[in-house]
Amino acid sequence: MKTFEIIEGNVTTPKGFKASGIHAGIKKAKKDIALIVSEVPCEAAGVFTTNKACAAPVIVSKENIKDGKIQGIIVNSGNANACTGEQGILDAKEMIHRTAKALNLSEESVIVSSTGIIGVPMPMEVINNGIEKAVEALSYEGGADAAEGIMTTDLIPKAVAVKLTIDGKEVTIGGIAKGSGMIHPNMATMLSFVTTDINIDGSYLKQILTETTNQTYNMISVDGDTSTNDMVAVMANGLANNKIMDENHPEKEKFLEAFYFVHEYLAKTIVRDGEGATKFIEVEGINAPKVVDARKAVKSILNSSLVKTAFFGEDGNWGRILCSVGYSGMDFEMEKIEIYLSSEGGEVKIVEAGQGTGFLEEDVEKILKHKDIKITVDFNMGIEKAKGWGCDLSYDYVKINGAYRT
């Protein structure tokens, strides 16, 4: 039974947060600048791309959030400001400067994020005018507009909110995200911004965000490409007035459950909106000797182009799944491994003792006709487990990315 309630909402659902999303002109028509601001300074934490060719906004924001205190986030879509040299750094800092000045905040209390085409100089006159418009448009109902403002090839905006009670006080967590392609474990072209009004210790917030990211965003895959611009940022402004949340708080587990749900929901929604995706695939590795082993196997299956294309073709090719486990780097025993396929169409064991089970093809066909499919890999070697999410690889994915810049 959940200890929290899922409600309709986003980053402006928690107390004291305003947001906006406007069209500045970076993109032809759709919203392309978003702004999220708290009434008061926040405890904050961020996790960023592992790509060595990281974008200018990542470099600048990592520095600004280092002390765990921010109050605003400015985001643009349509241009990644990646691989743009020293000018890119200057442009990212200029976005922060303009935002901070317009909000009467210190530059250190604002971080910046960008997403879009790589290697193109930022249209700073357009962006600076857009920042002014975004500040003017700020409202306590602006979260939905902000969710649209961060989108690129996304088909739908991604948002979620939950509420729960801590110390007798109502606490709310809300989030928005974007991501559709270049999605691969270790962060990808995905942005996630989460706000909460909980009163929380800053070091504890950083700890749980890192742990949650490893279990959610780092366990999704659309196409195996790790982006230059990934960012997950959380802002907690304390306006719920609960007793400070930390690792010793008696209701810690209740908060962690809700916090995890928000991030898992956003991560899974990114996968469901994968470019050209027709299948949503959940992979769970169970009874592994170590969590790290289970994660290796799960990620390897999700990243396999051959597995992805087999699911697009609704082909129960168990050999591809087993093969991807084999090169995952996990040390397992072939004679112990079992693999199951399941969906609303039923469940079938497709591998036993490292070999095919001689299942009926029509039984597997019933499973694969559904959009949501689960692969369960039982290693029979321990008690640890891990879960991840991905999608198939379709003709449309090639069309979308073959003409991305045009």
Domain shared by 216 and 302, yes or no: no
Q: Which residue among 249, 272, 295 closes a domain? A: 272
8 A C-beta contact, residue 70 and residue 109: yes
Q: Which of 272, 305, 339 is where one domain is finished?
A: 272
DSSP calls for 163-205: EEEETTEEEEEEEEEEESSS--SS--SEEEEEEE---B-HHHH
**Cβ-Cβ contacts under 8 Å for 178 (sequence gap 6 or more):** 77, 115, 147, 150, 151, 152, 154, 158, 190, 191, 270
Q: What is the CATH number of the domain that holds 240?
A: 3.60.70.12
Q: Is the domain of 150 the same as that of 227?
A: yes
Same domain flag for 62 and 131: yes
DSSP H or E segment with residue 21: strand 17-22
CA dist 260 and 197 (Å) reads 16
* pLDDT, position 403: 59
pLDDT confidence of residue 405: 53
Q: Is 226 a catalytic residue?
A: no
Q: Is residue 240 located within the same domain as residue 303? A: no
Domain boundary among 272, 293, 327: 272
249 lies in the same domain as 131: yes
Same domain, 191 and 290: no
- Number of domains within the chain: 2
Domain match, 250 and 301 both: no
Q: Name the active-site residue from 152, 189, 216, 269.
A: 189
User: What is residue 275's predicted lDDT score, i.e. its pLDDT?
Assistant: 67
What CATH number is associated with residue 354?
3.10.20.340
Quick one: 168 and 62 in the same domain?
A: yes
| pLDDT value, residue 401 | 64
Task: Check whether residue 192 and residue 295 sit in a common domain.
Answer: no
Check residue 183 and give its pLDDT.
Answer: 40
Residue 104: burial class (beta carbons within 10 Å; 0-12, 13-18, 19+): exposed
| Same domain membership, residue 311 and residue 239 | no
Place of tokens 């290693």: 379
- pLDDT tens digits for the chain (406 residues)? 789 999 999 999 999 999 999 999 999 999 999 999 999 999 999 998 777 778 899 999 999 999 999 999 999 999 999 989 999 999 999 999 999 999 999 999 999 999 988 889 999 999 999 999 999 999 999 999 999 999 987 889 999 999 999 999 999 999 999 986 544 433 335 899 999 999 999 999 999 999 999 999 889 876 444 556 788 999 999 999 999 999 999 999 999 999 999 999 999 998 887 667 889 999 999 999 999 999 999 999 998 989 999 999 998 899 999 999 999 999 999 999 999 999 999 999 999 999 999 999 999 999 999 999 999 999 999 999 999 999 888 777 677 666 555 5
233 and 321 housed in the same domain:
no
| Sequence-ordered list of residues with C-beta below 8 angstroms from that of 313, at least 6 positions apart, any chain | none
pLDDT of residue 402: 64
Residue 312 and residue 227 share a domain: no
Residue 228 CB neighbours (<10 A):
24
Residue 117's pLDDT is 87
Range of the domain at 114: 5-272
